[in-house]
Amino acid sequence: MKSNRKFVRIVDNTMRDGSHAVRHQFTVEDVTAIASALDDAGVPAIEISHGDGLAGHSFQYGFARCSDEEKITAVKKAAKKAKVSVLLLPGIGTRENLQKAVECGAQIARIATHCTEADISEQHIKLSKDMGLEVFGLLMMSHMEPPAKLLEQAKLYESYGADAVYLMDSAGAMVPDAARARVSALKNGLKIQVGFHAHNNLGLGIGNTLAAVDEGATIVDACVCGLGGGAGNAQEEVLVAALDRAGYETGIDLYKIMTVAEEVVTPRMTRPQIIDKAALALGYSGVYSSFLLHTYRAAERFKVAPLDILMELGKMRTVGGQEDLIIDVAYKLANKK
């Protein structure tokens, strides 16, 4: 270890946020192979859950091929050193789901709410702490609120006992200055660590993450091959290289993580992870990244343009989890014709 370099902890999201990119069809075999390879590369934490968190398995978000419990168990078995993380969105998953996840081996609980609604997470954060987990509070769609409001909400997480607060750029709508201002407000106002989760809809997944780290974020999310909702997350193998060049330590072996990307994850991808026009529209209009594939499906079903749906959703100031609104908007557009 180069001791004078600052450590940045990467939480791998390849099989959680990346789950959106494969319509939640990862198998236990996929999960085992990816987790083993990540663990071998030195990734410190691996997240596994339905893309929309524990119990996301639904008509609303898509039915997963395998249950959360099966996948958590598989990751736990494969991860010799890496900690196992799960995501939970109050309103979708419950404390019961968290308890089951812990029985399967979860060690980190990440509790996510819309960035103005942190107070719905108290019971989940407290239970997770009581069960001895490391707990992060995640403020989703944080491009929508100014830094002061985010700090007020982050303080709620801190008061419930969270070990870190994350700013989630769920819509991939931030530019580096926006990320800086938000991270800096939290860094200065909180006693606990600050994390950052990027999406690449404006091509800034890596850029925003570096900006966040520069402002003092010490935990960041990334996905191998950039897998994830919308245009995907910060591409993990690229981030490892970029952080190294910027003078940070991640503890991840660059050659190994590049190999994981080419040999383990790429063969399991079902579509290229690119910034196509709909993904760009997500970032530009500030719409939740995992709406992308649902929008394509609704566009086909109702014979309307994906862009028209996304622009309308942007105007409506939708929040994460409102996938049903895609059908509503597509239906209305189709009937206007």
Partner 1 sequence: MPEKRINVGIIGPGNIGTDLMYKILKYSKYMNLKMIVGIYATSDGLKIADKLGVQNSSEGIDALLEDKSIKIAFDATTASAHFKNAKLLKEAGIRAIDLTPAAIGPYVCPVVDIAAHVDAPNINLMTCGAQATVPIVAAIGSVTKVPYAEIVATISSKSAGPGTRQNIDEFTQTTARALEKVGKAEKGKAIIILNPAEPPILMRNTIYTAVKEQKKDEIIAAVNKMVEKVKEYVSGYRLRVPPIFDDEKVTTMIEVEGAGEYLPKYSGNLDIETSAALAVGDLIARRMLGKEA
Residue closer to partner 1, measured from CB, 31 or 127: 127
CA distance 152 to 40: 39
Instruction: Give the angle subtended at the CA of 174 by the CAs of 138 and 203, to the nearest 5°.
Output: 110
Out of 32, 67, 116, 266, name the contact with partner 1 by CB under 8 A. Answer: 116
Q: CA-to-CA distance for 325 and 310, rounded, in angstroms?
A: 10
Q: Is 122 in the site for partner 1 (CB under 8 A)?
A: yes
Looking at beta carbons only, is 274 or 316 nearer to partner 1? 316
* 3-class SS letters over 23-72: CCCCCHHHHHHHHHHHHHHCCCEEECCCCCCCCCCECCCECCCCCHHHHH
Q: Does 155 bind partner 1 (CB under 8 A)?
A: no
In the shown chain, the binding pattern of residues 25 to 64 toward partner 1, with x for contact by CB under 8 A and - for none, equals ---------------------------------xxx----
Q: How far is the CB of 32 from partner 1 (least distance, A)?
A: 28
Residue 114 as a binder of partner 1 (CB under 8 A): the answer is yes
> Radius of gyration over alpha carbons of the chain, in Å?
18
Helix (H, G, I), strand (E, B) or coil at 212: helix
Nearer to partner 1, 69 or 117 (CB): 117
Q: What are residue 109's DSSP bridge partners?
A: 86, 135
Answer yes or no whether residue 301 interacts with partner 1 by CB under 8 A: yes
Instruction: Show contacts with partner 1 in window 54-113 (CB under 8 A).
Output: 58-60, 90-92, 94-96
Q: Is 331 in the site for partner 1 (CB under 8 A)?
A: yes
Question: What residues are annotated to the active site?
Answer: 20
Contact criterion met (CB below 8 Å) for 172 and 289: yes
Residue 270 contacts residue 227 (beta carbons within 8 Å): no
Comparing CB distances to partner 1, the nearer of 70 and 117 is 117
- Rule CB under 8 A: is residue 197 a binding residue for partner 1? no
Residue type, 117: E
Contact between 317 and partner 1 (CB under 8 A)? yes
Of 99, 218, 259, 322, which lies in the binding site for partner 1, with binding defined by CB under 8 A? 322
Residue 266 touches partner 1, criterion: CB under 8 A: no
DSSP β-ladder status, 83-88 and 108-114: parallel
Regarding 120 and contact with partner 1 (CB under 8 A), the answer is yes
Is there binding between residue 318 and partner 1 (CB under 8 A)?
Answer: yes
Confirm or reject binding of residue 218 to partner 1 (CB under 8 A).
no
Which among 121-129, 170-178, 207-215, 280-288 is the span making contact with partner 1, rule CB under 8 A? 121-129
CA distance 283 to 263: 30
What residues are paired with 195 via a beta bridge? 166, 219
Per CB under 8 A, 319 contacts partner 1: yes
Pairing of strands 219-222, 193-197: parallel
Q: Which H helix or E strand runs over 167? A: strand 164-168
Site residues (CB under 8 A) for partner 1? 58-60, 90-92, 94-96, 114, 116-117, 119-120, 122-124, 301, 316-319, 321-322, 324-325, 327-328, 331
